[in-house]
Amino acid sequence: MSALLAFKGLSKAFFGVPAVADVTLDVAEGEVLGLIGENGAGKSTLMNMVGGVVAPSGGTMAWRGEPYAPADAAAAAARGIAFIHQELNLFLNLSVAENLFVDGFPKKFGLIDRRAIRERAAELLAALDLDVSPDAPVEDLSPGERQLVEIAKALHRDAELIIFDEPTTSLTPRETARLFEVIGRLKAQGKTIIYISHVLGDVARLCDAVAVLRDGRLVDAGPTAVFDIARMIRAMIGRELSGLFPERTARPSDEVALRVAGLGQPGVLENVSLSLRRGEILGLFGLMGSGRTELARVLFGLDPAATGEVELAGTALAGPPRQRIAAGLAFVTEDRRAEGLMMESPIEENLALVSIARFGRAPAALIDADSLAEEARETAQRVRLKAGNIARQPAKSLSGGNQQKVVIGKWLMNGPRVFILDEPTRGVDVGAKFEIYTLADQLAASGGAVLFISSEIEELMGVCDRILVMSRGEIVGGFDTAPFDQSAILAMAFREAA
């Protein structure tokens, strides 16, 4: 196989700080290349150079052996390069067909030829086995279907190189499986694919070759056959990670921290009962739509429940989140951008948000800025936040893992007794994941209790004392002791065992 795309000594520096340094790599035609590395390792910058979004500050690229230096994104698209981004670039208000043709509508008598669009769109969708009407508005589609529309768009433009950036983040397992099938089909058609992901298992399964970036440099590359996950991790973080999960330091006590009895809400939750003990990390597994996030929201008072009761350390919880926070509940939501952080505000303000009232001094609740700054600094250390000046640096300048630590930190500052973590490691790299697991263990060890909600079954098996499984709003079963049986958990989640 010849190289479709070749990098030679490619470099890019921002303000003198290298983001990509001296990368030399061939992407063979027709292969699926896995590109991995921690957040900030330079993956995005490298791909932005391919896409013509940023210009290299050193080195060259070659496309089919000819020099390739795209002036802008349109030039890259014209060469046959398509991006499938994490946040998709679709117009939600337009139909599937309109999205496919948005950059060049076929016309008839100067008007858009709707019939031609619909027919061609139907063909493209059929090629991907996507069973939606070309007329359906994109906003009605699931995340997985939207992604397939994006792929259809790439096919429509005769893309030869398709770059996937974290494509599975918002997909259900079933949608992920379908995506992999589609990628396999694209490969069979001779398309070349660059697949960027934090999910190393997927990379191992899907890719022909792996390239690892660290601190902007290509530190390791090779065929997947000789590239196991341990080697990927080693290359990514530059050291052995003794395990993916920290050693647990606490044992659950017998004291119940959170008791949920008969919680129900028509169409959402059905008779949910559980008890979470002090010192325990209780895992809650479920597929998308199983009601796991809904349960967390009801527990936190964001959504109503028709029946049932919730007790925290013996006192009944009721009312809006404010009252439950006062009782000692904390909730790290799955969507830290929309619900967790004030992205433009400094880290310190984010950390202080939950406990700010505690720093008000009479008269008029004037804030004691010194002790606030002091506590925020201690909290930042406690969660091992990697940041510069926390009083000035905005939250959005942090990597995903560090952003998540800020969210956890703002709750920690309030000294909660029960933590609900909903998908706390989503979009977070391997090293930061480990730190978040460590934090969960510390929370439990210091007398707290953690309800750990996740759709990543491996992490639940790695950090939890017990795992409950939800399906269609119900808790369908539980697993009490490690080692956990992954297939049994999955089967229960799919209700295949029932």
Partner 1 sequence: MSEALGTDETLPALGPGGMPGAAGARAAGPTGPRRSPASRLARRLGDLFLSDYFVLYLTLAYVLVLIPFLPTLSNPANLSNVLSNMWPLLVVAVGQTFVLTIAGIDLSQGAVIGLASVVGGALLAVGGSGAVLENSPLWGTVLTEQGGPLAGVPWGLALGIAAMLLTGALIGFANGFSVAYLNMPPFMVTLVGLIGIGAFAIWLTQSENIRPLPDSFVELGKGDIVSVYLGPQDEPKIPRRQIYSLVTYPAVIAIAIALAAHILLSRTVFGRYVYAIGANRRAAEISGVPVRRVVIAVFTISAVCAAAGSILYSARLEAGRPTLGDGAFLLDVVGAVVIGGTSLFGGKGKILWTVFGVLFFVVLSNTLNLMNLSSFHIDMVKGAVILAAALLDVLRTRLMRERAA
Q: Interaction with partner 1 in 286-315: which residues (CB under 8 A)? A: 300, 302
Q: Given the rule CB under 8 A, which of 121-129, 200-208, 356-364, 462-470 is the region that contacts partner 1?
A: 356-364
Report how far residue 112's alpha carbon sits from residue 487's, in angstroms, rounded to the nearest whole number. Answer: 51
Task: Give the shortest CB-17-to-partner 1 separation in angstroms.
Answer: 5
The candidate with the shortest Cα–Cα distance to 465, out of 294, 201, 257, is 257
Q: Does 410 bind partner 1 (CB under 8 A)?
A: yes
Which amino acid is present at 432? A
Q: Does 401 bind partner 1 (CB under 8 A)?
A: yes
Chain positions 220 to 249 lying near partner 1, rule: CB under 8 A, are: 237, 239, 241-242, 246
Q: Does 210 bind partner 1 (CB under 8 A)?
A: no
Chain positions 75 to 134 lying near partner 1, rule: CB under 8 A, are: none
Q: Does 325 bind partner 1 (CB under 8 A)?
A: yes
Minimum CB distance to partner 1 smaller for 77 or for 298: 298
Report how far residue 350's alpha carbon sits from residue 376's, in angstroms, rounded to the nearest whole number. Answer: 9
Q: Burial of 326 by CB count in 10 Å (0-12 exposed, 13-18 middle, 19+ buried)?
A: exposed
* Three-class DSSP category at 161: strand
Among 128, 352, 408, 450, which residue interacts with partner 1 (rule: CB under 8 A)? 352
Minimum CB distance to partner 1 smaller for 21 or for 475: 21
Among 4, 5, 6, 19, which residue interacts with partner 1 (rule: CB under 8 A)? 19
Q: Burial of 289 by CB count in 10 Å (0-12 exposed, 13-18 middle, 19+ buried)?
A: middle
Q: Does 421 bind partner 1 (CB under 8 A)?
A: no
Q: Burial of 307 by CB count in 10 Å (0-12 exposed, 13-18 middle, 19+ buried)?
A: middle
Q: Given the rule CB under 8 A, which of 23-31, 132-140, 342-350, 467-475 is the region that contacts partner 1?
A: 342-350
Report how far residue 273's alpha carbon sits from residue 263's, in angstroms, rounded to the nearest whole number. Answer: 6
Among 149, 200, 354, 453, which residue interacts with partner 1 (rule: CB under 8 A)? 354
Minimum CB distance to partner 1 smaller for 88 or for 332: 332
Task: Give the shortest CB-139-to-partner 1 separation in angstroms.
Answer: 20
Q: Does 29 bind partner 1 (CB under 8 A)?
A: no
Minimum CB distance to partner 1 smaller for 131 or for 322: 322
Task: Give the shortest CB-421-to-partner 1 separation in angstroms.
Answer: 14
Minimum CB distance to partner 1 smaller for 174 or for 392: 392
**249: region left, alpha or beta (phi > 0 left; psi from -120 to 50 alpha):** alpha
Among 227, 245, 434, 479, which residue interacts with partner 1 (rule: CB under 8 A)? 434
Minimum CB distance to partner 1 smaller for 131 or for 344: 344
Minimum CB distance to partner 1 smaller for 134 or for 346: 346
Report how far residue 99's alpha carbon sits from residue 77's, in angstroms, rounded to the nearest whole number. Answer: 16
Q: Does 416 bind partner 1 (CB under 8 A)?
A: no
Among 432, 457, 461, 463, which residue interacts with partner 1 (rule: CB under 8 A)? 432
Q: What angle do CA 176, 178, 179 make, to 5 degrees?
A: 65
Residue environment code for 80-91, b if the CB has 16+ CB neighbours within 10 A, otherwise e: bbbbbeeebebe
Q: Does 365 bind partner 1 (CB under 8 A)?
A: yes
How is 3-70 classified by DSSP, letter by letter? EEEEEEEEEEEETTEEEEEEEEEEEETT-EEEEE--TTSSHHHHHHHHTTSS--SEEEEEETTEE---
Size of the site for partner 1 (CB under 8 A): 77
CB atoms inside a 10 Å sphere around CB 315? 10
Task: Give the shortest CB-336-to-partner 1 separation in angstroms.
Answer: 9
**166: region left, alpha or beta (phi > 0 left; psi from -120 to 50 alpha):** left
Report how far residue 141's alpha carbon sits from residue 130's, in angstroms, rounded to the nearest whole number. Answer: 11
Q: Given the rule CB under 8 A, which of 135-143, 145-153, 265-273, 362-370 is the region that contacts partner 1?
A: 362-370
**Is residue 20 within 8 Å of 42, Cβ to Cβ?**
yes
Q: Does 370 bind partner 1 (CB under 8 A)?
A: no
Q: Give all strands of the β-sheet with 192-196 in edge-to-edge order.
A: 81-84, 161-165, 192-196, 32-36, 209-214, 217-223
Q: Does 367 bind partner 1 (CB under 8 A)?
A: yes
Element (H, E) at 437: helix 430-445
Q: Does 326 bind partner 1 (CB under 8 A)?
A: yes
Task: Give the shortest CB-334-to-partner 1 separation in angstroms.
Answer: 12
